[in-house]
Amino acid sequence: MRLAAATGLRALAATPVISNEVPVILNGQAGGRSTDAEALAAAFRDAGLEPRINTFGSGEEIRKLARRALKERPPVLVAAGGDGTLSAVADVVRGSGTALGVIPVGTLNHFAKDLGIPLDPAEAVRVIAAGRHIAVDVGEVNGRGFINNASLGLYPNIVRSRTRHQRRFGRSKRTAMLWATLEALHRSRLLDVRLEIEGRVHEFRTPFVFVGNNDYTLEGFNIGKRARLEEGILNVYATRCTSAAGLFGLALRALFGRLRQADDFMESSVGALRVASRRHKRLLVATDGELNALETPLEFRIRPRALQVLVP
């Protein structure tokens, strides 16, 4: 079953009150470049806000800083970084009553783009100062939240290989991603999975399972975008295609708007999903680009409008 896509997001409040002091969690190296904390602080002050900026090291440190900041129950907690940083802070903030402020300084910035948040940090700060709230959904796998998507198989292998290329050869993130993609397509291992969707069971071998927080555009030149983030659904995508040539063919179908006509492509809109595997006690899962080895079965669910976000 597919739900019809529509445009627009529902606002919670047009002009909520924001405290003058705003906690900010900053990934100073997001997007492979250094983010100037002083320039960011100046942008906040120009907007009439006093930032309390905290920078972090490892991925888990993000969540520690977010939990510490959340103890003071601020109206807004700002995350400045890429999608991985935003996802980690959102995972802590969701359901708390504190809104997430977004300053996208990563490489791809999918979440910000889908919400129409400016990619210029100073403009993003002005959006936070204006303080318009909306509520968006959060996906969840084994209790771990994600704001964009979670995937198994091909993409986690690409991310792992990309990290190795960056560390070993000093390549940029984009260049490393290209090499990692070619490598993963050549050496891709198939997943033996059992998908339980709305009482139906699908057992097959596949190079990937992709679970999106709401519906993704899969065809044409807007591939990877979402029109809505509060439909209360997970969109599940997989294929029975097992060869690199077959995957390339699917990519061509997507480009020319014929992906959904492919017999070996599977898509479903659900509120919950279980992924099991007889061969694997753990599966590598990429949630918003961050890798985690999670115990099977994987329990996916949607948390409708669990996260408040400040948007234009």
Provide the whole-model pTM: 0.83
User: Can you give the CATH number for the domain in which 267 is found?
Assistant: 2.60.200.40
Residue 16: its pLDDT value, please? Answer: 47
- 151 with 100, same domain? no
- 182 with 234, same domain? yes
Quick one: pLDDT band at residue 12, thresholds 50, 70, 90? very low
Quick one: pLDDT band at residue 26, thresholds 50, 70, 90? very high
Query: Is 266's pLDDT higher than 50?
Result: yes
Return the SS3 of 80.
strand
User: Can you give the CATH number for the domain in which 98 is found?
Assistant: 3.40.50.10330
- 292 with 183, same domain? yes
Q: How far is CA 256 from CA 4, 43, 218, 259, 312, in A?
A: 21, 43, 10, 8, 33
Range of the domain at 36: 17-130
Contact 61, 92 (CB under 8 A): no
43-56: average pLDDT: 93
- 55 with 95, same domain? yes
Q: What is the pLDDT of residues 95-124, one digit of tens each?
A: 999 999 999 998 889 999 999 999 999 999
- 46 with 166, same domain? no
Query: Is 166's pLDDT higher than 80?
Result: no
How far separated are the first and last CA of the chain, in Å rounded?
32
Q: What are the beta bridge partners of residue 204?
A: 193
- 163 with 249, same domain? yes
38-51: average pLDDT: 94
